[in-house]
Amino acid sequence: MTTTTPTHVTPASAPLLERFRVPAGFALGAVLLLGVAPLALSDFRLSLLAKYLCYAIVAVGVSLAWGRGGLMVLGQGVFFGLGGYAMAMHLKLTDAAATGETLPDFMQLYGTGDTLPWWWKPFANPAFALAMTVLLPMAVAALLGFFVFQRRVKGAYFAILSQALAAALSIWLIGQQATTGGTNGLTDIQGFFGYSLDDPVNQRMVYFIIAAVLLLLMAGARQLFVSRYGELLIAVRDSEERVRFLGYNPANVKLVAYVIAAGMAGLAGALFVPAVGIISPALIGIVPSIGFVIGAAVGGRASLVGAVLGAIAVAWAQSTLSDAFPSAWTYLQGLLFVVAVGFLPGGLASLGVVRRRRVRNRTTGETV
Residue 166's nearest CA partner among 283, 65, 289 is 289
pLDDT at 18: 63
61 neighbors 76 (Cβ within 8 angstroms): yes
Would you give the distance in Å from CA 296 to the centre of its chain?
9
pLDDT at 364: 67
Q: In Å, how far are 46, 85, 303 from 360, measured between CA atoms?
A: 42, 51, 22
For residues 337 and 331, give the distance between their C-alpha atoms in angstroms, rounded to a whole number.
10
For residues 301 and 347, give the distance between their C-alpha atoms in angstroms, rounded to a whole number.
7
Using DSSP's 3-state secondary structure scheme, residue 1 falls into: coil
How many C-beta neighbours within 10 Å does residue 107 have?
Answer: 24
Buried b (16+ CB within 10 A) or exposed e, 295-327: bbbbbbbbbbbbbbbbbbbbbebbeeeeeeeee
**pTM of the complete model:** 0.89
pLDDT at 7: 45
Report CA torsion sign: 203, 120, 280, 129. positive
pLDDT at 302: 87
- Residue 121 belongs to what H/E stretch? none
**What digits encode the pLDDT tens for the residues 262-285?**
999 999 999 999 999 999 998 888
What is the SS3 assignment for 145-175? HHHHHHCCCCCHHHHHHHHHHHHHHHHHHHH
Would you give the distance in Å from CA 323 to the centre of its chain?
23
Query: DSSP label at 325?
Result: -
Q: What angle do CA 89, 95, 99 make, to 5 degrees?
A: 140
Q: What is the mean pLDDT of each run of 10 residues along the chain (368 residues)?
A: 46 58 87 94 94 96 93 92 96 91 86 81 95 97 92 82 89 89 91 91 95 96 93 91 89 95 97 95 88 89 91 88 72 76 74 64 57
pLDDT at 307: 93
Rg, Å, the chain Cα set = 22
For residues 213 and 57, give the distance between their C-alpha atoms in angstroms, rounded to a whole number.
8
pLDDT at 16: 57
pLDDT at 11: 47
Q: What angle do CA 56, 60, 62 make, to 5 degrees?
A: 105
pLDDT at 108: 82
- Left if phi > 0, otherwise alpha if psi is -120 to 50, otherwise beta: which for 103? beta
